[in-house]
Structure 1
Amino acid sequence: MVYITSDIHGAFDIHKINPREFIPGQTMTGDDYLVICGDFGCVWDGGSSDRFWLNWFESLPWTTIFIEGNHENFDVLEHYPVVEWNQGKVRQIRSNVFMLMRGERYEFAGKSWLALGGGFSHDVEHRQAGKNWWNVEIFSKEEALHAQQTMEAHDWKVDIVLSHDVFSAHPLANKYQHNMANYSDDRVHQHEFLESMRQKLDYQIWFSGHYHVDRIDYFDQKPCVVLFDTVEEVDTLIQKAKDHQPLDLAQ
């Protein structure tokens, strides 16, 4: 089984995936997965806090997978090795903890998955470059091209899209103002890039996070599920979306 959530922010919101609160976690096994749609935050400074939480993740029976959010330490993440995993490249954080890389497509749990991590920080002016904010939080032109080439090789077909931020057509894309002047010339506008991908992709469901809400919206009759408190099984969410059921924070 595959469960999915977003935005655990290291110690701040990790309680929602602790098996004491996340009841399905008490019976999950090595054949199961937990997917986090960005803002993992447990790889931050390479220090004792990171080691504590990564040791904890490694002690859990399931495999934890995350994409990049915007609240990540990208410098530290880049020190982890790149390996092949389920037909795509990942950074291996621990034996059962992997970061899916931008523009990579994977096959696991009977489904195909596209990783489109990264997102805009709306609080750039209150953060310091190289300390708690990184220009690379959004896609580069090279990464965008790689994602396009990956999907061209698969006829633009994938079951599940994972992003942290949302595409331009989503109402939440207008929640904050973003200034591309904060970014180097090799970066692309994240919302516009994701929108260009959405318009070409043949997908079943799109998951994202970032906005600290739980909701389902539909675009060209295809669901986009934004997650925060919800920790739920992927197939259950797919069925809810098909039936146009509300997100009820089931855990």
Structure 2
Amino acid sequence: MIYITGDTHIPNDIKKLDEHNFEEQMKMNKNDYLIICGDFGGIWNNSKEELQWRKWLSERKFTTLFIDGNHENFDLLNKYEIKKWNSGKVHFINESVIHLMRGQVYILDGLKFFTMGGAESIDKYNRVEGKSWWKEEMPSKSEYDEALDNLDKNNWNVDYVITHTASIELMQQMCWIKENNPLNSFFNMLQTDLNYKHWYFGHFHDDIDLDNKHTLLYEKIIRIK
């Protein structure tokens, strides 16, 4: 089984994954996955509380997969060793909590997932670089290049796209005009050129089916397979 949800902002929104809110997990095991669409928040300052939440997640019956959003500590996240897992690069936070890196194509239960984390913090000018904001929140040229190379290897054909933010076109549908950056433009291109069944994203703190191929997630937990 594969489920997907929006931002968890540990510790703020992680409780949606407890047994009372996510009853389906009682039928899951470590070969089943819960995907978080960025702003995981569990790699922030290695505080006692944060470590307890990571331990709590590792004790769930399922395996947690997350892409990065804009509210992550990239200094800490990038200290983890890069490993290969299910055809893509990952950071193993622990055996049950795995960071899906940017520009990768993973094969999960026979399905192809393209992941591209990152987003722009519109409040970054009120944050402190290296403490509450990191310039690595936006993809680098090498990450874009790797994404394009991996899509070429897969003939621009995947089952699912998992991102944190969205394309300019989708943001216009949501009447969101606060972002317009190279990542949003990159996603515009993907909407046109990439063949996919469905695209899931977070970041905007709402639950909306924009059309039959694009879903914004926040509190909802949806089963994909």
Shorter-chain TM-score tier: over 0.9
Q: Where does residue 216 of structure 2 map in the other structure? A: 226
What displacement does 1:176 show?
4.2
Does residue 33 (structure 1) correspond to residue 28 (structure 2)? The answer is no
The answer to whether the 8 Å contact 1:213/1:227 transfers is yes
Spell out, residue by residue over 1:151-177, the C-alpha distance to the aligned partner (whole angstroms, 9 max, x if none): 011110000000000011112675243
The residue identity in structure 2 corresponding to 1:82 is I
4+ runs deviating over 3 angstroms: none
What percentage of residue pairs aligned between the two structures are identical?
A: 35
What displacement does 1:18 show?
1.0
Q: Where does residue 42 of structure 1 map in the other structure? A: 42
Does residue 215 (structure 1) correspond to residue 208 (structure 2)? The answer is yes
Spell out, residue by residue over 1:78-131, the C-alpha distance to the aligned partner (whole angstroms, 9 max, x if none): 111111110111000011111001001000122110011111112112211111
The residue identity in structure 2 corresponding to 1:168 is I
Which range moves more in the overlay, 32-41 or 122-131? 122-131
What stretches of structure 1 of length at least 5 have no aligned partner?
A: 181-188, 236-251
Distance 1:72 1:49, change over 3 A: same
Q: Where does residue 191 of structure 1 map in the other structure? A: 184
The two structures, once aligned, show a CA RMSD in angstroms of: 1.5
Distance 1:179 1:127, change over 3 A: farther
SS in 2 for 1:136: helix
Once residues 195 and 56 of structure 1 are traced to their aligned partners in structure 2, the CA distance between those partners, rounded to angstroms, is: 37
SS in 2 for 1:206: strand
Does residue 59 (structure 1) correspond to residue 52 (structure 2)? The answer is no
Once residues 105 and 23 of structure 2 are traced to their aligned partners in structure 1, the CA distance between those partners, rounded to angstroms, is: 30
Give the alignment of 1:34-113 within 5 angstroms: 34-113=34-113
Which range moves more in the overlay, 24-33 or 70-79? 24-33
What displacement does 1:141 show?
1.4
SS in 1 for 2:169: coil
Give the alignment of 1:121-140 within 5 angstroms: 121-140=121-140
The answer to whether the 8 Å contact 2:11/2:50 transfers is no
Could you state the TM-score of these two structures normalised by the residue count of structure 2?
Answer: 0.95
